[in-house]
Amino acid sequence: MIKKILVIILVHITIISYAQEGTSSPYSFYGIGISKFKGTVENRSMGGLSMYTDSIHLNLQNPASYSELRLTTYTVGTSYRRYKISNTNDSSSGENASLDYLAIGIPAGKFGFGFGVIPLTSVGYELNTNENTENEHRFTGTGGLNKVFLATGFKVNKNLSLGLDLNYNFGNVENKVIVRQPGLQYATREINSSNLSSFSLSLGVTYKTMITEKLELVASVVSTPSFELTADTRRERATIVIDNNSGREGVVERQDIAVEDKEIDLPAEFKFGTGIGESKKWFVGAEYMYVDFGKYTNLISNQDNVLYENASKFKAGGYYIPNYNSLTSYFNRIVYRAGFRYEETGLNINNTSIDEFGISFGVGLPVGRLFSNTNISFEYGQRGTSNFGLVKEEFFNISLSLSLNDKWFRKIKFN
């Protein structure tokens, strides 16, 4: 009954979240948007670590982890975000919410399988600029890239697991610019709407070994090759009238412009992590990720002051459980998690690299039977800088997920 009530509540939350933008970052103007975190709330609470796996939680970042599952696991996650954007002259703040993932994992002996949907990038910005104090430029963007995945993991032996993640990536990004000269009745509007699609894959390896009677060493590698993303873009230019009271745009004259399909080389990624811990008690680990941006370019056009450079990401974190099978204290069965991360985004504007860092902590709260749990994560972070004509973002994320376990394919016995 508890699980049913929680599912009903979360369904309503996710419906509300899905209808809202997942970001309000000016930096989502570039490329195909800001990269979303691709793991679970459990991972996010530990600074984003991806190497830790167990038998009751999904690890969406390493397909080899599915071979560890012993129970069918459903998981869904949402997040709420408060942010402040500032430069040397001004600042603004706001909030948004999003659906972060929806997935299921199924154990099958030495194999494990998983499928679900995850947002990969998010576009959400509204910018206003003046050119020589004569023309006002208003830029807005919405949309993003998502993936539907089918993954499998295979346990080669008690120490080694291999995995494969097959993805279909899809989405739409709309960029709009309005040029308006104060005092004139008419303005010019251009809308570029791009339908995005591609296939991709990831390969994962996990290795575990006992180094003492209690301590276990864990290491993992995940490799994602570069792949081409097809952008089918439609461009519309129009002369419009803007109502000064409501802001509504009335079209006076419209023209559709043919645009060739564009292939964008999305970056290759290589990730290595290792950690040590005592099973069902504690774990600490660290992870390094390298992103090769190669020939990655912006979706619509190139800016002279913008380029992409290869990036590195560093993460560290862990968890602690006082007593996972305590019968007398609920608090002893709570999982306490914490971590931090420092990431180069690969975006360089005005000869300045846009970097990001975050500090996180969270808890896993047991609910119902079969080790199901609710996970809550809190993260504070910053992106960018207010120097060199740029903006600094400060954000506070609250993430919520359900990880529900069940047994499938049970033999029914009759007396």
The three-class DSSP label of residue 37 is coil
Q: What is the pLDDT of residue 18?
A: 42
For range 81-93, the mean pLDDT: 87
Give the integer Cα–Cα distance in Å for 289 and 220. 12
What DSSP designation does 371 have? T
Residues 6+ apart with CB under 8 A from 107: 66, 69, 70, 71, 72
Query: What share of the chain has pLDDT > 90, as a percent?
Result: 62
Give the integer Cα–Cα distance in Å for 415 and 408. 21
The dihedral sign for the CA sequence 385, 387, 389, 391: positive
Residues 6+ apart with CB under 8 A from 348: 306, 307, 308, 309, 354
Ranges 13-17, 286-290, 381-385: which has the least confidence: 13-17
Q: Do 167 and 140 meet the contact criterion of CB atoms below 8 Å apart?
A: no
Give the integer Cα–Cα distance in Å for 51 and 318. 11
Copy the structure tokens of residue 30. 């570039």
Q: What is the pLDDT of residue 301?
A: 66
pLDDT band at 10 (very low <50, low <70, confident <90, very high): very low
Total Cβ atoms within 10 A of residue 99: 21
pLDDT band at 247 (very low <50, low <70, confident <90, very high): confident
Helix, strand, coil % over all residues of the chain, rounded to 5? 10, 60, 30
Q: What is the pLDDT of residue 413?
A: 53
Q: What is the dihedral of CA 38, 41, 43, 44, to 10 degrees?
A: 80
pLDDT band at 11 (very low <50, low <70, confident <90, very high): very low
Give yes or no for residue 295 having a pLDDT over 50. Answer: yes
Query: What share of the chain has pLDDT > 70, as a percent?
Result: 91
Query: How do residues 21-60 score in pLDDT, each as one tens digit?
Result: 556 788 998 889 999 999 999 999 999 999 999 999 999 9
For range 388-407, the mean pLDDT: 91
Which is more confident, 126 or 219? 219
Among candidate residues 76, 358, 53, 99, the one with its CA nearest the CA of residue 207: 53
Q: What is the pLDDT of residue 110?
A: 94
Q: What is the pLDDT of residue 135?
A: 77
Q: What is the pLDDT of residue 20?
A: 42
Which is more confident, 326 or 394? 394
Copy the structure tokens of residue 102. 């929806």
Copy the structure tokens of residue 274. 């290792």
Copy the structure tokens of residue 207. 């290795």
Q: What is the pLDDT of residue 246?
A: 74
Copy the structure tokens of residue 320. 């602690």
Q: What is the pLDDT of residue 14?
A: 43
Total Cβ atoms within 10 A of residue 321: 19
Give yes or no for residue 327 having a pLDDT over 90. Answer: no
pTM, to two decimals = 0.88
Give yes or no for residue 253 having a pLDDT over 60. Answer: yes
Give yes or no for residue 124 having a pLDDT over 50. Answer: yes
For range 47-76, the mean pLDDT: 93
Query: How do residues 342-376 score in pLDDT, each as one tens digit?
Result: 999 999 998 999 999 999 999 999 997 778 999 99
Q: Do 347 and 320 meet the contact criterion of CB atoms below 8 Å apart?
A: no
Which is more confident, 11 or 122? 122
Give the integer Cα–Cα distance in Å for 19 and 1. 28
Copy the structure tokens of residue 148. 């539907």
The count of C-alpha atoms lying within 13 angstroms of the C-alpha of 328, restricted to the half-sphere facing its C-beta, is: 0
Give yes or no for residue 100 having a pLDDT over 80. Answer: yes
The count of C-alpha atoms lying within 13 angstroms of the C-alpha of 123, restricted to the half-sphere facing its C-beta, is: 24
pLDDT band at 230 (very low <50, low <70, confident <90, very high): very high
Among candidate residues 271, 256, 265, 262, the one with its CA nearest the CA of residue 224: 271
Query: How do residues 155-198 score in pLDDT, each as one tens digit?
Result: 999 999 999 999 999 999 999 999 988 777 888 999 999 999 99
Domains of the chain with CATH codes:
2-406 (2.40.160.60)
